[in-house]
Amino acid sequence: KQWYQRRVAITAGNDPVIGSNCCGALWILAVCDANTAILTEECGLQDICNAMKTHRDIEELVENACSALWSLSMEDENIEIMRDENVISMLVAAIKQHIKAPKVVKNACTTIGGIIYADEMCGLQLLSDDQSIPTILDAFKKHSSNQEVVESMCELMLTMGESEELAAELASYPVVKMLQKAMAEFPCIEDIVQKSEDAIAALNAVTGV
């Protein structure tokens, strides 16, 4: 019943505050595998996507919805739906619309990385729009001094770098310089330094450097 009530609240479409709170609650609940399975069975992924489309201009809702989608990406069945619904493009659109909002950017990039890690074919959808990667990199530049955003970006660059086709596309942009700048900005943050080094190595392998 509680799941049903949250679904009704999300899909009602009349109150973005309620929808945002429900997306936030589902994000926390979906961390548990059992809850994720229930939410998948009840078409929760589609409900969250619909909420993002209906209230795409509401920053807090989009932020929470991105986190909820990340939790749902742990379920194989949801990954298939995400591929069919092209959720990657929806997340890139969220970054573009809320590029000044660090939490939206961080959550969306973390979710994109999680989806690509689970299914490379989803990641290749980034190549269907020639503005997708530039949008992500623009957000990287804008938040280059925000540790949380940079951590998620370095993780995403590494994940993309592990895909031959995505790495080839990334290599056409000054991503290596951006990662080097990230390491210089946060030299004591091991996670940023290590993932940047690994991502740079992957991109250099593509270019033959």
Pull the structure tokens for residue 162: 């592990």
- What is the structure's pLDDT at 142? 97
Span 135-149, pLDDT tens digits? 999 999 999 999 999
CA-based R_g, the chain, Å = 17
Pull the structure tokens for residue 37: 């399975």
- What is the structure's pLDDT at 4? 43
Q: Is the pLDDT of residue 14 over 80?
A: no
The dihedral built from the CA positions of residue 132, 122, 119 and 85, taken in this order, carries a sign that is positive
- What is the structure's pLDDT at 11? 46
- What is the structure's pLDDT at 61? 87
- What is the structure's pLDDT at 78? 85
Span 69-126, pLDDT tens digits? 888 887 788 888 899 888 999 999 999 999 999 999 999 999 999 999 999 899 999 9
- What is the structure's pLDDT at 12? 45
**18: exposed, middle or buried (Cβ count in 10 Å: 0-12, 13-18, 19+):** middle
Q: Is the pLDDT of residue 22 over 70?
A: no
Confidence of residue 37 (pLDDT cuts 50, 70, 90): low
- What is the structure's pLDDT at 101? 97
**38: exposed, middle or buried (Cβ count in 10 Å: 0-12, 13-18, 19+):** middle
Quickly tell me which residue has 């609940």 as its tokens. 29
Of 157, 169, 165, 147, nearest to 201 by C-alpha is: 157
Q: Is the pLDDT of residue 28 over 80?
A: no
- What is the structure's pLDDT at 16? 59
Span 154-195, pLDDT tens digits? 999 999 999 999 999 999 999 999 999 999 999 999 999 999
3-class DSSP state of 53: helix
Pull the structure tokens for residue 64: 């929470």
